[in-house]
Amino acid sequence: MDIIQIKDISKSYGLDFSLQNVSLNVQKGKIFSLLGPNGAGKTTLVKLMLNLLHSDSGTIEINGLSVSDKNSRMGIAFIPEKFNFFPFYTARGVLEFFGKMKGIEGAELTSQVNAALAELQISELAERKLSKMSKGQVQRVGLASILIGNNDLIILDEPFSGLDPIGIRDLKEIIRKLKGQGKTLFINSHILLEMEQLCDEIAILNKGQVLFAGSVPSVLEKEKSLDDFFYKIVNGARA
């Protein structure tokens, strides 16, 4: 079953196209990565999925609902590449805010917040303000927010940005655990090694066009690494 259906999406900014006739399907319960160099159109597509932007043409459905329907965003968690929030909020305050936005209150909210802080190994930062944290610590707070509530679809835009090697490893384990719980993960990234190790399906986007969509095992049957395959596909398109 497809949780995301993207059909013939185009988006332009003036005379320049960010996306041109993009079509993709993402299956429920899979880890999917949209790969591409900077400026490929990955973030624009995510904004269209969240109805933060409107396309020039084409359709996007999530759980069978058009993204113009606010109900399509029920059960979605999203973290942008650079997580920003009010600097005077503490880590606990940030997570409580997201929980209350999802209608979670009282003991259940406290339990979920404590569990998310522990999962991201930032329990000691619970009462520290974001303004007093490092970039990596703030990013961990943002990532902890995806664990609040019952989110079936989790969208991560360059989630490894700002994380040290330990943070990257921790996040990979969290992503695998979420998949094991039946969640669907849509990841924008250009970190190819991590995506090779994590993903079931990928698509390669360059200059607003999909150059490839398929499974990671099918890629590794052709090339020794996702990195080699990506380089060949993108540079072949430039030739």
Amino acid (1-letter code) at residue 35: L
80-126, pLDDT tens digit by residue? 888 889 999 999 999 999 999 999 999 999 999 999 999 999 999 99
Q: Is residue 163 part of a domain?
A: no
The pLDDT of residue 18 is above 70: yes
Domain that holds residue 115: 83-151
Lowest mean pLDDT among 30-34, 112-116, 186-190, 200-204: 186-190
Q: List the end-to-end C-alpha distance of the chain, in Å, as a whole number.
A: 37
Q: Is residue 121 part of a domain?
A: yes
User: CB–CB of 206/218 below 8 Å?
Assistant: no
Tell me how many domains the chain contains. 1
The pLDDT of residue 239 is above 50: no
**232 CB neighbour count, 10 Å cutoff:** 13
| pLDDT band at 237; cut points 50, 70, 90 | low
Token pair for 229: 């395959």
DSSP state of 205: E
Q: Is residue 92 part of a domain?
A: yes
Strands (E), 46-183: 57-62, 65-66, 76-79, 153-157
Q: What is the pLDDT of residue 19?
A: 95
148-168, pLDDT tens digit by residue? 998 999 999 988 887 889 888
Q: Is residue 186 part of a domain?
A: no
Q: Is residue 89 part of a domain?
A: yes
Q: How far is the C-alpha of 29 from the C-alpha of 11, rounded, in Å?
A: 28
Q: Is residue 44 part of a domain?
A: no
Q: Is residue 185 part of a domain?
A: no
Q: What is the mean pLDDT of the chain?
A: 93
Q: Is residue 111 part of a domain?
A: yes
| pLDDT band at 238; cut points 50, 70, 90 | low
* β-bridge mates for residue 203, sequence order: 34, 213
Q: How far is the C-alpha of 61 from the C-alpha of 53, rounded, in Å?
A: 14
- In terms of Cα–Cα distance, which of 219, 224, 220, 222 is closest to 204? 219
Full-model pTM: 0.92
| DSSP-based three-state secondary structure for 146 | helix
